Amino acid sequence: MTSFNKKELLSGLHDRIELIRNNLQPFLRLPDEHLLKNPTAGKWSIAEIFEHLNIIHGGLLQSIGKVMRKAPINSRESFSSGWIGDKLYRLMMPRPDGTVFKMKTPRRFQAGPAPLHPRKVLDTFMNQLDEFDHVLELCLYVDLQKMKLPFVFPRGLKLRLGDGLRFIVAHCERHLLQARLVLEQLPANE
């Protein structure tokens, strides 16, 4: 279990979201065909990676909204991560050497068979980052420990709100790294 000062935790998460937003720039300049190109058979394209983030984070942001509407004002200044939330966070975070713990993504969280519109996918992701920033501001006034967030995977699991926030940022960082690796595999002259 990890303990945090709530303001420092939320500020740190906000800073990491800003870094994610800044690291999106190379993807925003790519033509659609590069965003849709799979690096190898069975591997996700950049658009599929961001669509996966949109699916997961769309559900989590919706759950956070429901929890926040019911949350009483609370000035508790600390947050202690639960053991499950802390473990999920550590599994999700890229390691210092850039590797990640391998996980199989359930089909319901993968980009569907319908053709993706890369610009729309990236716009949705950026809008979700803006929404998440707003959530972080509101979280200053609620208890991150007592508010429980229904988690999308596995079903039935509930995380402390603070753990859910940490998970979202780690999940973004993990898949941003994945998207960068796909970008590096694209031919330079294409």
Per residue in 102-134, pLDDT (tens digit) is 777 767 677 877 788 999 999 999 999 999 999
CA terminus-to-terminus distance, the chain = 48
CA distance 85 to 90: 9
Please tell me the total count of domains within the chain: 1
Is residue 190 in a domain?
no
12 token code pair: 């740190």
Q: How many CB atoms lie within 10 A of CB 134?
A: 10
Please state the pTM of the whole predicted model: 0.91
- What is the domain extent for residue 48? 3-185
Give yes or no for residue 189 having a pLDDT over 50.
Answer: no
Here the CATH number for the domain that contains residue 77 is 1.20.120.450
CA distance 34 to 73: 46
pLDDT (tens digit per residue) in 39-86: 888 899 999 999 999 999 998 999 999 999 888 888 889 999 999 999
Give yes or no for residue 22 having a pLDDT over 50.
Answer: yes
Mean pLDDT over all residues of the chain? 90
Q: How many CB atoms lie within 10 A of CB 46?
A: 28
Is residue 102 in a domain?
yes
CA distance 71 to 62: 14
